[in-house]
Structure 1
């Protein structure tokens, strides 16, 4: 579980599928109201507080993005807390329970995102993808000192998608960054046909 602060009132949490399995949670469970998911959320908020000092009291907007073959990204935005906390203290209420006011948005993202520290690795993987006939497409971003290749595998046969993932994983690392974050905080280097463009201008 990795936690990163995006702004004073917003954090991003990356959960691998191993993180979920360790807690007995399946990917599809994140779409359901079950105690295990609430426990996971409480654990995430405790870790966010201890690591970043992020106080999760008050209303929270929670966005959950499922990423293919990588894990899940949870973006938590803290709203303005109401100044009526005393009215909510009920002596009969179970004080051991952490109660969060959450507005949850769930999205399934099929975008493949891989980060590379060196541009040489981007050149190498692009040439492999191109020569193997796996892809000519993709978008290239620069974000926090890393190069990020993003692919939309919609309509691609699963075997081909797995082959693309295998090559990307050989040279880079699956990243928890979402397309929305990249477009807001990163820099678009090549907006379409990145693999073809890179292979045209660079040789490994």
Structure 2
């Protein structure tokens, strides 16, 4: 579980599928098991407090982005409440938050790479395995991010593509909307094919 602060009242939590499995949560449970998710959310809020001093008090807006290739991103935004300044120490053990939850699912595959050489290597592997020539390449926060739309990938090669991406890169906690807004597009179409054409060694 990775937690980062996006602002004074906003944090982002990234959980891989391994994180979820460790807690007994399957991918399907994210949509139909409120008690398990409630326990998970309590654990996330406790870790956010311990690591960042972020208190889950008052109204919270919770956005959950489920991404089959990467895991789950949870963005928590704390609203202001008139109770904020009146809380007593003994109240902290009680549940003090009201949640408004928005859930979205995205089949877009996104993996981040620290070095451009890793992008070249994974592209070569795609070519030799006959997997894909598609994809878009972005630059974001000093990392390279390869993005694949689900309709550009054959169903039977989905797992092989994710396995190769995971070998050279890492699942990213950035949402696609954030990447579109703040990332810089380097190769807009057929990124794998173009990399293979221009980088040979």
Task: Give the alignment's TM-score, normalised by structure 2.
Answer: 0.86
1:132 to 125, 129, 133: 129
Give the deviation of 1:184 after TM superposition: 2.9
Aligned match of 1:27: 27
Give the deviation of 1:56 after TM superposition: 2.1
Where do 5+ consecutive residues of structure 1 fail to align? Answer: none
Work out whether 1:202 is the aligned partner of 2:199: yes
Q: Please tell me the root mean square deviation across aligned C-alpha atoms, in Å.
A: 2.5
Spell out structure 1 runs of 4+ moving beyond 3 A: 84-89, 94-97
Kindly provide the CA deviation profile for residues 106-153 of structure 1, in whole angstroms up to 9, marking residues without a partner as x: 111111111111101101211222343311111111122211111112
Number of corresponding residues: 199
Kindly provide the CA deviation profile for residues 45-81 of structure 1, in whole angstroms up to 9, marking residues without a partner as x: 11112211222212211111112243111111222x1
Give the deviation of 1:25 after TM superposition: 2.1
Structure 1 range deviating more: 43-52 or 127-136: 127-136
1:149 to 132, 146, 149: 146
Aligned match of 1:54: 54
Aligned match of 1:67: 67
Aligned match of 1:121: 118
Aligned match of 2:82: 83
Aligned match of 2:188: 191
Structure 1 range deviating more: 106-115 or 21-30: 21-30
- 1:96–1:54 distance in 2 versus 1, CA, 3 Å: closer
